[in-house]
Amino acid sequence: MKQLILMFTLLIGTATFAQSKNAKASMEVDGVCMMCKERIEKAAIRTKGVKSAVWNVDTHELKLIYDERKTDLKTISQKLADVGHDTKDIKATDEAYNSVHPCCKYRDKDVVKDHEGEKKSDKKN
Q: pLDDT tens, 8-31?
A: 555 555 444 555 689 999 999 999
Percentage, residues of the chain above pLDDT 90: 70
How far is it, in rounded angstroms, from Cα 97 to Cα 88? 15
Q: pLDDT tens, 53-81?
A: 999 999 999 999 999 999 999 999 999 99
**Do the domain assignments include residue 117?**
yes
Where residue 77 sits, what CATH number does that domain have?
3.30.70.100
How far is it, in rounded angstroms, from Cα 82 to Cα 122? 31
**Do the domain assignments include residue 80?**
yes
What pTM value is reported for the model? 0.78
User: CB 94: neighbour CB atoms within 10 A?
Assistant: 10
Report, as an integer, the average pLDDT of 84-88: 97
Top-confidence residue, 44 or 110: 44
Domain assignment of residue 29, given as a range = 18-124
Instruction: List, in sequence order, every residue forming a beta bridge with 54; answer none if it has no partner.
Output: 63
Environment class of 100 (CB within 10 Å of its CB; exposed 0-12, middle 13-18, buried 19+): buried
